[in-house]
């Protein structure tokens, strides 16, 4: 049965009960709809309710994906299996409305493993988290904990930075960032977001050195699919992924922790795609340390999409999936060719003729002997502009 992909990138907001900004959501769909290129087969379709998704073929090796609006989908009632970015109650109601086949885990399990409390508890139990991380339940506890953290780190504002995260969010959204002792504005922010069972999660700011996503598939067992390095710009925004043929030694010590957590998640009853992010960071004492479990995502991820892009190329090649600004696609391709003179291929993964897209995605295929540190250095200079 062909599949219908649902671009519900607001997945975490729905689980958290937050309202969705429809303009922002439409822009996000335009930006990320091409993630399904790496997964789709001929005959699969993407649901496009508001006409925001562009055609997905422009001199590429990928299968053509048709987009369907509500009227078109209703005319093909019962013809597809639903594949969402992440499972939610809205997804199930959508499937019922259009007669879509579903194979979904229990929503209670989906919410549990995507809640930061789940990963936090695992880190605390295994003693693998950041020094100073804490679960915050009240404004008073927040002030006391941050004050203690700042006192321990010192009064240097560059060192005494911290971040406060909600139980459910993605891509650094809905977080509070601060440095030094908490202010009344900080306390007021916390007061609005705590009470009852609600918890916030405090982490000391750390200097990220490298970050990667471990991709698993869970069904009757845990299957490790691959490890994908993450590319970010100086502001910490996701700008792409590096998918190598095999896991690098620097990440091999994190894999057993991630696998152990994935097995625990499977025992809870969740099945489907699972991404677990890990980081290498510089501790305030100057040492490089590893945080094996930073985020847990019981859904599709950009890292999984990047890993699946490998199926279109030689299995010994390394690919970079870069998300560039859309203003001048042809100029961007020339810039990438100059930055990666050793590239074997440059492949656009979105239509260069679409003036409405909010990102221009390109695959850069390089030999497997090019080191990741060199690739990261190039992309950092590329996105520093």
Q: Which two tokens stand for residue 246?
A: 């095999």
Of the candidate CATH numbers 3.40.30.10, 3.30.70.260, 3.40.50.2300, 3.30.470.20, the domain formed by 207-383 belongs to 3.30.470.20
Domain assignments of the chain as residue spans, ordered by start: 3-104, 131-204, 207-383
Q: Convert the pLDDT of each residue in 108-163 to its tens digit.
A: 999 999 999 999 999 999 999 999 999 999 999 999 999 999 988 775 555 689 99
CA nearest 85: which of 295, 318, 305?
Answer: 305
Q: Convert the pLDDT of each residue in 134-148 to its tens digit.
A: 999 999 999 999 999
Question: How many other β-carbons are positioned within 10 Å of the β-carbon of residue 371?
Answer: 11
CA distances from 277 to 130, 154, 255 (A): 14, 29, 10
Predicted pLDDT at 10: 87
Phi, psi of 196 (to 5 degrees): 65, -135
Pairing of strands 161-165, 222-232: unpaired
Predicted pLDDT at 21: 75
Predicted pLDDT at 355: 42
Q: Are 374 and 244 in contact (CB under 8 A)?
A: no
Show the low-confidence residues of the chain (pLDDT under 50): 56-58, 351-355
CATH class label, 131-204: alpha beta
Question: How many other β-carbons are positioned within 10 Å of the β-carbon of residue 153?
Answer: 21
Q: What gap in Å lies between CA 170 and CA 302, rounded to an integer?
A: 12
| Length in residues, the chain | 385
Predicted pLDDT at 354: 42
CA distances from 120 to 110, 228, 256, 303, 328 (A): 16, 22, 17, 22, 42
Q: What gap in Å lies between CA 363 and CA 115, rounded to an integer?
A: 32
Predicted pLDDT at 329: 75
Alpha helices in 154-230 (DSSP H): 184-193
Predicted pLDDT at 331: 82
Q: What gap in Å lies between CA 226 and CA 239, rounded to an integer?
A: 19
Mean pLDDT of the chain: 89
């Amino acid at each position: 049965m062909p599949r219908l992909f649902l671009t519900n990138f607001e997945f975490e907001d729905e689980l958290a009960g937050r309202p969705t900004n429809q303009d922002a959501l439409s822009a996000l769909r335009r930006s990320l709809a091409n993630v399904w290129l790496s997964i789709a087969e001929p005959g699969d379709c993407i649901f496009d309710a508001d006409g925001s998704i562009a055609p997905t073929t422009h001199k590429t090796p990928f299968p053509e994906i048709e987009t369907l609006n509500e009227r078109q989908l209703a005319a093909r009632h019962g013809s597809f299996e639903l594949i969402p970015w992440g499972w939610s109650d809205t997804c199930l109601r959508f499937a019922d409305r259009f007669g879509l086949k579903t194979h979904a885990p229990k929503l209670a399990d989906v919410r549990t493993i995507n809640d930061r409390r789940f990963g936090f508890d695992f880190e605390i139990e295994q003693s693998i988290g950041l020094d100073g991380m804490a679960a915050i339940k009240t404004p008073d506890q927040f002030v006391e904990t941050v004050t203690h953290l700042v006192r321990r780190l010192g009064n240097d504002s560059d060192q005494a930075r911290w971040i406060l995260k909600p139980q459910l969010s993605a891509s650094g959204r809905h977080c509070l960032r601060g440095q030094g002792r908490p202010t009344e504005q900080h306390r007021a922010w916390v007061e609005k977001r705590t009470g009852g069972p609600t918890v916030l999660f405090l982490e000391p700011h750390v200097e990220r050195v490298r970050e990667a996503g471990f991709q698993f598939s869970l069904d009757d067992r845990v299957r490790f699919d691959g490890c994908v390095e993450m590319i970010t710009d100086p502001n910490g925004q996701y700008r792409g992924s590096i998918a190598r043929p095999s896991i690098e030694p620097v990440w091999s010590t994190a894999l057993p922790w991630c696998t152990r957590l994935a097995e625990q998640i499977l025992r809870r009853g969740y099945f489907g795609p699972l991404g677990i992010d890990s980081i290498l960071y510089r501790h305030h004492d100057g040492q490089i340390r590893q945080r094996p479990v930073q985020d847990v995502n019981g859904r599709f991820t950009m890292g999984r999409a990047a890993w699946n892009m490998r199926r279109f190329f030689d299995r010994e090649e390394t690919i970079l999936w870069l998300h560039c600004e859309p203003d001048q696609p042809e100029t961007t391709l020339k810039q990438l060719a100059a930055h990666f003179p050793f590239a074997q291929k440059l492949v656009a993964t979105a239509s260069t003729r679409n003036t409405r897209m909010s990102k221009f995605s390109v695959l850069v295929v390089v030999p497997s002997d090019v080191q990741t540190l060199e690739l990261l250095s190039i992309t950092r200079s590329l996105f520093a502009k």
